[in-house]
Structure 1
């Protein structure tokens, strides 16, 4: 697994927890597809959201940090 893949997995795990799932391992196919879709969407739009300062109303600080790391790894 590349560092980029590992970072994506970390983002997916955080999104799964935020959506009320315990972890990715025991997840069904439909639920995992939903998490993957949310992960892809978060990654695709992260540049737009990272330009906006975080606040306690609209963002998870850890998720923003992970997305920033993913963007850096993607550019390598």
Structure 2
């Protein structure tokens, strides 16, 4: 992480600034994710000067069972990720 450390820390800091209605948010570096990491593995193998930041967003913006969106949360998330 030495090469990209400042960029990664800045990205995490920006994510920590996102606020969502009636929710506590968090951002973490090196948090365990159950994905297989194909994108990052492929990119790192083929491109020396490229940084991949795998980012997971918990589906707090919707009710997963019904697919019903929570408009205020979705809007805040969209704004925060711009």
TM-score by length of 1: 0.30
Q: Would you tell me which structure has more helix in proportion to its own residues?
A: 1
TM-score by length of 2: 0.28
Structure with higher Rg: it is 2
Q: Would you tell me which structure has more strand in proportion to its own residues?
A: 2
The higher-RCO structure (CA 8 Å, 6+ apart) is 1
